[in-house]
Structure 1
Amino acid sequence: MTGKPHLGRLAVSLAIWWMLIAFVLWIVGQAADQSASLVQCAASSAFLVAIGEAGDWLRRRWKAHRPTRRP
């Protein structure tokens, strides 16, 4: 069961990933002389984090429901 401490850790983890990816996108954009605002990078970062979390959720569901192989 998902408790409040687990949800708090998850929220903090997602926020840190979101900010880190947004900052990296912004820095890469500045280095490539294709500057985007930090707000645009944050929106792209939120999309990337959401896709990553959905993929992780699907992977865990697939692994949980797949029958174990026995030799």
Structure 2
Amino acid sequence: MTGKPRPGRLVVSLGAWWMLIAFGLWLVGKAVDQSASFVRCAASAAFLVAIGEAGDWLRRRWKAHHARAR
């Protein structure tokens, strides 16, 4: 995919990742008998998604910077 994603598609994509990570964290907590509430897992997942998006943004900036330098 090239160019900027549409805002609606971006929101749906981030929301899907957020819920998937939150559910995964909740399941892992249940599996190791260290269960936290789903709300806490959702908050942690939001943090992880934000960190991932920031890293992706930095990666794209770095790549664009080096492409311009050539």
With structure 2 as the length reference, what TM-score do the two structures score? 0.89
The 1-side partners of 2:16 and 2:31 are apart by: 22
* 1:55 aligned residue: 55
* 2:34 aligned residue: 34
The aligned amino acid for 2:60 is: R
Larger radius of gyration: 1
* 2:13 aligned residue: 13
Q: State the identity as a percent.
A: 74
Residue 36 of structure 2 aligns to a residue in which SS?
coil
Query: Unmatched 5+ residue regions in structure 1?
Result: none
The 1-side partners of 2:61 and 2:36 are apart by: 36
Aligned residue pairs, count: 66
Deviation string for 1:37-65 (max 9, x for gaps)? 00000000000000000000000001001
Runs of 4+ more than 6 Å apart = none
